[in-house]
Structure 1
Amino acid sequence: MNIEELREYCMAKKGVTESFPFDESTLVFKVAGKMFCLTDLVDDFAVALKNDPEKNIELREHFPAVRPGYHMNKQHWNTVQIDGSISDKMLKQLIDESYWLIVAKLPKKVKEEFKFE
């Protein structure tokens, strides 16, 4: 997966916006204003994704490309190095899990507004 494919995949999800809230090189994808995926456009290609703390431990033990989230809450966020050692299918699954983890915690009114199912 390259940066264009990552962007297309994230932007195809319901309620997603993209922005550069921190600096000119950190691209952030949000659903209903809440971050679920971050990537830097300058440094090595990696993404920060949110997941369940217990699953994060498992992922870090099984995949060397998965590390605690850089500049993020290390219990809830991972940095996933996109170096070919993680398949596109697995990366998409991790993106989906991060997205739905955020959606699940949205207020009922917001979920109804976006018509999440």
Structure 2
Amino acid sequence: MNIEEFRTYCLSFPGSTEKMPFEKFFHGKHSFLAFYVNNKMFCYFDIDKFDQCTIKCTQEDIEKLTEVYESVSHPYNCNPKYWISIKFNDDMPDDKIKHFVWQSYEIVLKH
């Protein structure tokens, strides 16, 4: 999966928007692109690296996914009870990653 394909996928969700909200915190050293629905974030990644994304997830899925996939880990600077990071081009297929990004969108949309 490449960055433009992934960005297009995230923006295809109804009401989805994108922002770069973290630039002031990292003094422009990192460029994180975040996707929102109802002004709440459901996914973000570093456009300079594009090696992983961070998404919201159910607690049950977090436990299962971290056991099954090497590519799933606890995210940096997010609550590991509600968020996961998934490495791209690793042991989780792209269609599964997209499934969990969609699920993240739905979790945020409902709250």
Query: Which residue of the partner structure matches residue 59 of structure 1?
Result: 65
Instruction: Report the Cα distance in structure 2 between the residues aligned to 1:83 and 1:8, rounded to whole angstroms.
Output: 18
Q: Deviations over 1:61-92 (max 9, x none)?
A: 00000001221111110010002421111011
Matches within 5 A, 1:70-85: 70-85=76-91
Between the two proteins, the alignment pairs up a number of residues equal to 105
Q: Verify the 8 A CA contact 1:59 1:66 in the aligned structure 2.
A: yes
Alpha-carbon RMSD: 1.1
Secondary structure at 1:13 match in 2: coil
Matching of residue 31 in structure 1 with residue 24 in structure 2: no
Question: Structure 2 length normalisation: TM-score?
Answer: 0.90
Match of 2:105 among 83, 90, 99: 99
Secondary structure at 2:14 match in 1: coil
Matches within 5 A, 1:12-31: 12-23=12-23, 24=28, 25-31=31-37
Matching of residue 9 in structure 1 with residue 9 in structure 2: yes
Mark the structure with the bigger radius of gyration.
1
Secondary structure at 1:69 match in 2: coil
Aligned identity (percent) is 32
1:43 offset after TM fit, Å? 2.9
Structure 2: gaps of 5 or more residues: none
Q: Deviations over 1:21-70 (max 9, x none)?
A: 10150000001100000000123510001011121011000000000122
Structure 1: gaps of 5 or more residues: 106-117
Instruction: Report the Cα distance in structure 2 between the residues aligned to 1:7 and 1:42, rounded to whole angstroms.
Output: 14
Query: Which residue of the partner structure matches residue 115 of structure 1?
Result: none
